[in-house]
């Protein structure tokens, strides 16, 4: 699933292409909103909120979530799409650009004044202008018995972290993903999470190690059986979550993390 920095970059790309422009085409290919046509209206801005994208058009917001496979792409007018048309869930065009949302996990339209209905439950946005570290710590601390990895993935606590960041964050902090929240140094963990995602906000290649060479960008994520970059112990994998719907694959070093 895309991380918050991916969605942040997608929002910036869409804002550069659509922001301040009038829609000449609005084609939403989901049954519930297939008859909605916002063409002729001004795109005020495109912003991200955690892993959510908000395209503000006229008095409405087109709200999308990439989920696992989703992606927005921008093309010049008349330029062929580089993905199959049947995967397109939204087509938004102006006189100078066309934005296509492929395989979006969720797409809806709502009045902008009701955006809180869609994203109001989210915790502080790690890449938002109103990032609040203390509030994120407070929300995490409210669930002391929850494994730290599960708590960090809960978007109601802080918005933007996905499985990759949480695996890497736990490694760098020396915590097993199963460590209870009560035993974690929450201020330092949250501060590191913020530094880590901000460092990658403008990178084409995400890296938590400081290296961008292929195969060198992560400490533990998806490295099962490979040697730990610190101690050489084989990296292990386990499933973690409060129920089957929330299960996540987690990678860790049994020596460097406790």
71-75 and 88-93 as β-strands: parallel, antiparallel, unpaired?
A: unpaired
Other CB atoms within a 10 A radius of the CB of residue 9 amount to: 18
Chain Cα centroid distance, residue 59: 25
**Residue 3 bears catalytic tag:** yes
Task: Go through the chain and tell me how many residues it has.
Answer: 258
Q: Is 51 a catalytic residue?
A: yes
With residue 199 as reference, give the H or E element that holds it: helix 186-200
177 is catalytic: no
Assign 152 to helix, strand or coil: helix
DSSP code, position 42: B
CA 232/CA 7 separation, integer angstroms: 34
Of 212, 213, 214, 234, residue with least CA distance to 225:
234
Among residues 3, 147, 168, 177, the one annotated as catalytic is 3
Tokens of 133: 């570290």
Catalytic residue among 51, 124, 147, 168: 51
Looking at 2-78, list the stretches that DSSP marks H as alpha helix, in order from N- to C-terminal side: 4-18
**Residues with catalytic annotation?**
2-3, 51
């Amino acid at each position: 699933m895309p991380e918050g920095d991916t969605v942040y970059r997608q929002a910036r790309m869409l804002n550069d292409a659509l922001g301040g422009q009038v829609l000449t085409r609005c084609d939403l290919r989901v049954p519930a909103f297939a008859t909605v046509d916002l063409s002729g209206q001004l795109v005020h801005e495109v912003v991200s909120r955690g892993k959510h994208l908000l395209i503000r058009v006229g008095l409405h917001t087109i709200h999308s979530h990439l989920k696992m496979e989703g992606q927005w792409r921008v093309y010049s007018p008349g330029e062929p799409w580089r993905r199959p048309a049947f995967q397109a869930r939204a087509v938004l065009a102006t006189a100078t650009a066309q934005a296509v949302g492929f395989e979006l996990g969720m797409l809806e339209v709502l009045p902008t004044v009701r955006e809180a209905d869609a994203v109001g439950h989210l915790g502080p946005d790690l890449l938002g202008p109103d990032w609040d570290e203390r509030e994120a710590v407070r929300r995490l601390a409210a669930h002391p018995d929850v494994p730290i990895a599960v708590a960090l993935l809960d978007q109601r606590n802080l918005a933007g972290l996905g499985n990759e960041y949480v695996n890497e964050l736990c490694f760098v902090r020396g915590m097993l993903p199963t460590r209870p929240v009560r035993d974690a140094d929450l201020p330092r963990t949250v501060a590191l999470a913020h530094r880590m995602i901000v460092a990658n906000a403008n990178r084409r290649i995400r890296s938590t190690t400081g290296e961008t060479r292929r195969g060198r960008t992560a400490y533990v994520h998806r490295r099962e059986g490979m040697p730990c970059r610190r101690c050489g112990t084989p990296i292990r994998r386990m499933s973690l979550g409060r129920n089957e719907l929330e299960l996540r694959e987690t990678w860790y070093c049994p020596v460097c993390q406790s």
